[in-house]
Amino acid sequence: MITVNDHQTEWLFDPWKHLGPKRRKLLEKSWSEVFRKYLLETLPVNKVAKHFDKVMGRPSKELYTAIGALILQQFHDLSDPEVSMALAFNEQWHYALDINDESDASKYISERTIRTYRKILIEEGLDRVLFETLTDSLITAFGVDTSKQRLDSTLIQSNMRKLGRIRIFATTIRKFLKKLKRKHPDLFDTLLESEFTERYLGKESEGCFSRVKPSEASRTLDELAHDLLHLVELFNSYDTVSLLSEYKLLERVLSEQCRLTGSGADTKVEVKPPKEVSPDSLQNPSDPDAGYDNYKGQGYQLQIMETYQTENKDKKKPNLITYVDIEPACDHDANALQPAIDAVLKRGCCPEELTCDTLYGGDDSVQEAAAKGVKIVAPLAGHAPSGNINLSNFTFDETTHCVTRCPEGHKPDDVCRTQTNRIQARFNKNICCACSRLENCTVQPGKKASYLRYDDKTLRLNRRRAYEQTREFKDKYRWRAGIEGTNSHLKSDVRAKRLRVRGMDSVHFAVILKVVGLNIMRCVKALYTAFHPYFTQMYVLKNIPVAWIHKLYAIFPYFVVKEHV
């Protein structure tokens, strides 16, 4: 039976009057007020309610409370038992979730219920719905300007151990044998006569492969590869075994880490060199979705896009994260640009100008974004050629992209577009040979004339190179650095650096709700900075002498320390 309370109708008598004016004021200047005022009523309870019958069965947990508790769990980085305690005794949670009675039905939630509702939200994909709904609500409520945004990625890690190749082999085999023993004990008994059970399931098996000497690593890997091949071939004909996820991990490790030669009884296995192993290979059998990046490491990659203000005159408008996505660490950043633009375009918060780093700024990506009305501010990869005269020094017709004058002011004798869509300009050879800048010029002398050959893409890249050297570009691009602070806040404030969960679905759910929590914190800061007189005054402390700070510390110790820690 569905239980949903009315959180829209105002109370005739204030249920929070018992707190007193000072404690009530603290609540109104905290995250509780932002959540209660702007987010509570927008929670998608209708999409969760369809999992329960309207009249039959026991009453469900109040849906606003259940969904809100899962958001606050990731916001505060709590375990399931801690969520149960917080909902039972934390006054801030009661205020945020609009719980004003003392019944267990309202203020108690079991760990099993938490897991049940979390499973529902993950299966329905409501983490994405929650993020978009709540973020759009905050954008509207605070009047955030989304015309300028920035995009970047950062590495996050799930609750998995970092394993080397030897332990990847050994752990995968061990997991399969344990599952085989539990699901198919009759087939497991066929291995008792061999050394498999003792080697991988014995008392010392856990540390056996973690103490391998470097000089013995190659031989140990060969032995593990042969054991892996033996298990794959032995149970390949059993349909009930081959469908197990643990068996599929055996096949995956064998294909990613090993090279097979021959067939049938003559099949031989050889371990691949590390350079030949793909970055999307299995990093840990406990988390098959994680990837590897040579620069960042193992785990997942978080793509975030946020708004920013070049003139922060109105401190009541916070910078909010408008887009977030999770992908394996091995995925390239260039592939994340268009999905990010498409996502915010559908929600009506698409930027006019998007600032990002070099990996997002490929020519194809920039052109595709421009077709959607988004200007990409990003430098090109590599270094610009120095001392040469490139296409940016010539004068062109903006409609046809045909050259009209060279840097010395000479007109070409003829300009045409070839069948391969390249443009060829023919200059007078005598004039070009007499030019003092011929050695550094891109015009190449031929038998009858001097030629300048280029295409539209080359012209665009040369113009972008020239634009990167201007003061205008540098003034725009310098704002990209601010998103590095956002990455840091995500990892420190809401603990997104290393999560409590494993697997893409669970990681996606946890990170997206943590981003919602960071947006809430930013809104609180905007309100607190705008309304609290002491906090607003403390922003000028950095510009006054240290001796004055010590004097102010004696009067307002909390605010001075908070600003300077």
- Between 30 and 199, the more confident residue is 30
Q: Is 387 helix (H, G, I), strand (E, B) or coil?
A: coil
| DSSP run (H or E) holding 222 | helix 217-234
Span 265-275, pLDDT tens digits: 778 899 999 88
Please tell me the distance from the alpha carbon of residue 250 to that of residue 268, in angstroms, as a whole number.
Answer: 16
- Condensed to tens digits (0 to 9), the pLDDT of residues 200-243 reads 887 666 656 767 778 888 898 998 999 999 999 989 989 999 99
Lowest-confidence range among 112-121, 227-236, 388-397, 544-553?
A: 544-553
CA atoms within 13 A on the CB side of 431: 15
In angstroms, rounded to a whole number, what is the distance separating the alpha carbons of residues 530 and 539?
Answer: 12
pLDDT of residue 541: 43
Model pTM?
0.85
What confidence score (pLDDT) does residue 76 get? 94
Q: Which whole number is the average pLDDT over 276-282? A: 91
Is 26 buried (19+), middle (13-18) or exposed (0-12) by CB count in 10 A?
A: middle
Which has more confidence, 552 or 247?
Answer: 247
For the chain, percent of residues with pLDDT exceeding 70: 90
Model pLDDT, residue 561: 42
Beta bridge partners of 271: 258
| Residue-averaged pLDDT of the chain | 86
Residue 13 has pLDDT above 90, yes or no: no
| pLDDT for position 387 | 56
Q: Choose from 272-281, 420-429, 449-458, 531-540 the range with maximum mean pLDDT.
A: 272-281
- Whether the CB-CB separation of 483 and 149 falls below 8 Å is answered with no
More confident residue, 301 or 454: 301
Token pair, residue 554, equals 């004696």
Domain ranges of the chain: 17-124, 148-154+303-375+483-517, 165-276, 391-468, 531-564
Q: Does 360 score more than 80 pLDDT?
A: yes
Backbone angles phi, psi at 18, to 5 degrees: -70, -15
Q: Is the dihedral of CA 488, 489, 492, 494 positive or negative?
A: negative
Which is more confident, 534 or 162? 162
Query: Which residues make Cβ contacts (< 8 Å) with residue 295, sequence separation at least 6?
Result: none
Between 196 and 4, whose confidence is greater?
4
